[in-house]
Amino acid sequence: MTETALYTRPKYLLDVPMFYCPGCGHAIIHRLIAELIEEMHLGDEAVGIAPVGCAVTAYNYLDFDFIEAAHGRAPAVATGIKRARSDLFVFAYQGDGDLASIGTAEIIHAANRGENYTTIFVNNTIYGMTGGQLAPTTLAWQKTSTCPNGRDPATMGHPIRVCESPGPCSTGRPASARPRPCSAGPSNPRSTGRGSAWSRSSPRAPYTCGWTPRGRWTTSGRPSASTFP
Phi, psi angle pair for 115, to nearest 5°: -60, 135
Alpha-carbon distance values, 180 to 32, 131, 177, 183 (Å): 9, 30, 9, 5
Domain-embedded: residue 21 = no
Task: Burial-class residue 190 by CB neighbours within 10 Å (0-12, 13-18, 19+).
Answer: middle
CATH number of the domain to which 170 belongs = 3.40.50.970
Between CA 200 and CA 210 the distance in angstroms is 22
Q: Residue 170 forms beta bridges with which residues?
A: 197
pLDDT band at 184 (very low <50, low <70, confident <90, very high): very low
Q: Residue 94 forms beta bridges with which residues?
A: 121
Residue 221's identity, in one-letter code, is G
Q: Is the pLDDT of residue 185 over 50?
A: no
Domain-embedded: residue 17 = no
Q: Is the pLDDT of residue 193 over 90?
A: no
Domain-embedded: residue 15 = no
Q: Report pLDDT for 186.
A: 39
Domain-embedded: residue 41 = yes
- Tell me how long the chain is: 229
The four Cα atoms 51, 57, 61, 62 give a dihedral, to 10 degrees, of 20
Where is average pLDDT lowest: 18-27, 110-119, 148-157, 204-213?
204-213
What is the reported pTM? 0.79
Domain-embedded: residue 71 = yes
Split into its structural domains, the chain has a count of 1
Between CA 99 and CA 163 the distance in angstroms is 10
Cα 68 to the chain's mean position, in Å? 15
Domain-embedded: residue 1 = no
Average pLDDT, the chain: 81
What's the DSSP call for residue 52?
A: S
pLDDT tens digits, one per residue of 165-183: 655 555 555 554 454 544 4
Domain-embedded: residue 150 = yes
Domain-embedded: residue 14 = no
pLDDT tens digits, one per residue of 9-27: 999 999 999 988 887 888 9
Q: Is the dihedral of CA 3, 8, 11, 14 positive or negative?
A: negative
Alpha-carbon distance values, 51 to 59, 99, 128, 189, 212 (Å): 11, 9, 14, 19, 27
Its domain, for residue 66, covers 26-227
Instruction: With beta carbons less than 8 A apart as the criterion, state whether 208 and 132 touch.
Output: yes
pLDDT tens digits, one per residue of 45-95: 999 999 998 888 899 999 999 999 999 999 999 999 999 999 999 999 999
pLDDT tens digits, one per residue of 30-56: 999 999 999 999 999 999 999 998 888
Q: Report pLDDT for 149.
A: 96
Residue range 137-162: mean pLDDT, rounded: 92
